Structure 1
Amino acid sequence: MTTNSSNKVKVAIIGSGNIGTDLMIKVLRTSKVLEMGAMVGIDPDSDGLARAKRMKVWTTHEGLDGLVANEALWDQIKIVFDATSAYVHEKHNDICKRGGKIVVDLTPAAIGPYCVPVVNIEKHLAEQNVNMVTCGGQATIPMVAAVTRVSERVPYAEIVASVSSRSAGPGTRANIDEFTQTTARAVEAVGGADKGKAIIILNPAEPPMIMRDTVYTLSQGATEEEISKSVHEMVEAVKSYVPGYRLKQKVQFERFGSNNPLSIPGYGEFEGIKSTIFLEVEGAAHYLPAYAGNLDIMTSAGLGTAERIATMKLGVSA
């Protein structure tokens, strides 16, 4: 159990950009079990570090090395959120692992197992590093899992995540390839589809659009009623930590039989039910405006995961 006098687990956030700053504000305003210990960045003029200073959070612009150099504070940190980029996460994780820190990875690096809280968090509470997939993955994989859990098989699932270009910072833009690859793999590994595909669209529309996601699944062995019920139940589960998560309309269905199989280019022909699920994710506007639901669902999932680890693995009570 942590020795903090506040009985909270002290955390550090690496990355003072959009995601890191939004996460910091969530920890400070909403968490009953986590306490901000440090905000780590590399740009001394970043808005995230400036906000952290105003909110009385210890900061460094010398990267993770700057935090490690503060030995007394580093010893107190139990959980580290990495909100930087995939290509530097391995280095960050190595340092954290040597220091005995648990890492919640908000980059697409995927060194640790994929974690989508409403689907598989209980399986990964003992891990040193857990990966939060991507914003598109956090929004859509619960829907794939909702179809999978009532079906005998889901041969294929495809997700399309559309976000405002204003809510995509340099970290997101630098990781587009990793985004699509990581999300597609997680659609399979966590969502349960035999084959997954992911697409992200950065929409420059003005005024900025709220995050929209479309999920397509081809399933076998479940009725339309069973799929619809499972999807609605999963939406409510996600809403417990992302209140702005909602269906845009009823789930759409199309049946494919032996006389009209669905042809998936490069994959094959299949029979079954094609389900089309339309989602909208409105953010809580803790840092960026409400249209940035892609940030909100990512940071909310990361926060929820760390809080679960804090209570179940580190023994802190809410």
Structure 2
Amino acid sequence: MAAERRLRVAVLGAGLIGVDLADRIGRSPKLDVALVAGRTQDSLGLRRAAEMGHPTSAGGIHAVVEQGPFDVVCDATNADSHAEHWAAVRMSGGTLIDLTPTGRGTVIVPGINSDQARADRHLNLVSCGGQASIPVLHAIAQRCTPTYIEVVSTGATASAGRATRLNLDQYIATTSHAIRTFTGTRDVKVMVNISPARPAPPFRVAMTVLAADIRSAPLRTSIAAAAETVRTYVPGFKVTSLAVTSDRISVVVEVTASGGRLPRHAGSIDVINAAAVLLSEQAVTASR
């Protein structure tokens, strides 16, 4: 039998997220890193990608267009540039996975609506905080009717690159909108902390949910099932605290990076890159 064709994937962006993403894609049995495109030739990210054996270019989106088409393009740059990137690649016939917090395209959270990814070529992964919190919040919303949701994400300074810091406003707005969409809750508050603590803390997301119709046992079962689903592609995901009363749910999840080039505290990168690789691999099945 002929060998299954690997999909050609371009990674746009050579920062913390882009380099780790290229490493993960390179280890996938279904994907090939066909290009890592940055904007500065002597950047540390492009040097590291080249050391891994991947083709690189400092031509940014222009290199992606010129060297394409690609089956999948993963945009790991910044929210302000994404609209230009989608406009440049939308006619190529491939799938664009947006790892920036723009909220554009079809919002996908694996384990909840991965099937919708096949209906669109422009996919959005919300944010690292969204990928960590929404599976749990969606499970909660299946068991009660939240009237208020508060989400506080805390990540290590070393895990927050320049684009992440520049995009904090978009991060909060996009994550809030996605939580409203997946839970049906209008009153949502999202906050982000970047911690300089030493040793660096793991990526942590604390959620508070208010509701009037909480039943503890079914709720705990649903949250455990949601966490188990996330662990199938993010092994370092775990619920570290869960308290339930008649009208309030407090739940904390932590994500520690496992394997690859990331330090353990970089769970924020781990959770969104794992989702991007999973969707890219699912595109293999869709293309057959």
TM bracket (short chain): over 0.9
Alpha-carbon distance in structure 1 between the residues aligned to 2:180 and 2:40: 37
Do structure 1's residue 286 and structure 2's residue 283 form an aligned pair? no
Q: Which amino acid is the alignment partner of residue 17 of structure 2?
A: I
- Aligned counterpart for 1:239 among listed residues 231, 235, 240: 231
2:66 match: 69
1:100 match: 93
Aligned to 1:190, what secondary structure does the other structure show? Answer: helix
Q: Which amino acid is the alignment partner of residue 24 of structure 2?
A: K
Q: Which amino acid is the alignment partner of residue 274 of structure 2?
A: S
Deviations 1:53-97 (A, max 9, x none): 122211110111023223xxx13x111000000000000001110
> Can you give the 5+ residue segments of structure 1 that lack an aligned partner in the other structure?
256-272
Do structure 1's residue 254 and structure 2's residue 251 form an aligned pair? no
1:206-221 superposed matches below 5 A: 206-221=198-213
2:106 match: 113
1:228 match: 220
Alpha-carbon distance in structure 2 between the residues aligned to 1:276 and 1:210: 19
- Aligned counterpart for 2:13 among listed residues 4, 15, 26: 15
Runs of 4+ in structure 1 off by over 3 angstroms are none
1:193 match: 185
2:73 match: 80
The alpha carbon displacement at 1:34 in A equals 1.4
2:53 match: 56
Do structure 1's residue 145 and structure 2's residue 138 form an aligned pair? yes
Aligned to 1:45, what secondary structure does the other structure show? Answer: coil
Alpha-carbon distance in structure 2 between the residues aligned to 1:62 and 1:282: 33
- Aligned counterpart for 2:273 among listed residues 280, 295, 299: 299
Deviations 1:104-145 (A, max 9, x none): 000011210211101111123211111000001100111100
- Aligned counterpart for 1:156 among listed residues 111, 132, 148: 148
Alpha-carbon distance in structure 1 between the residues aligned to 2:64 and 2:141: 43
8 Å CA contact 2:108–2:125 kept in 1: the answer is yes
8 Å CA contact 1:85–1:107 kept in 2: the answer is yes
The alpha carbon displacement at 1:6 in A equals 5.3
- Aligned counterpart for 1:25 among listed residues 23, 26, 29: 23
- Aligned counterpart for 2:119 among listed residues 117, 121, 126: 126
Count of residues in correspondence between the two structures: 287
Alpha-carbon distance in structure 2 between the residues aligned to 1:240 and 1:222: 28
1:267 match: none
TM-score (norm 1): 0.87
Q: Which has the larger radius of gyration?
A: 1
Alpha-carbon distance in structure 2 between the residues aligned to 1:230 and 1:243: 18
8 Å CA contact 2:216–2:245 kept in 1: the answer is no
- Aligned counterpart for 2:36 among listed residues 36, 39, 45: 39
Q: Which amino acid is the alignment partner of residue 292 of structure 1?
A: A
Q: Which amino acid is the alignment partner of residue 58 of structure 2?
A: H
1:262 match: none
More displaced stretch, 162-171 vs 194-203: 194-203
The two structures, once aligned, show a CA RMSD in angstroms of 1.5
1:258 match: none
Do structure 1's residue 314 and structure 2's residue 287 form an aligned pair? yes
TM-score (norm 2): 0.95
8 Å CA contact 1:21–1:287 kept in 2: the answer is no
8 Å CA contact 1:114–1:130 kept in 2: the answer is yes
Deviations 1:180-216 (A, max 9, x none): 1101001111233233221110001011111111011
> Can you give the 5+ residue segments of structure 2 that lack an aligned partner in the other structure?
none
1:174 match: 166
More displaced stretch, 236-245 vs 185-194: 185-194
Overall identity of the aligned pairs, in %: 30
The alpha carbon displacement at 1:287 in A equals 2.5
Alpha-carbon distance in structure 1 between the residues aligned to 2:47 and 2:251: 40
Q: Which amino acid is the alignment partner of residue 208 of structure 1?
A: A
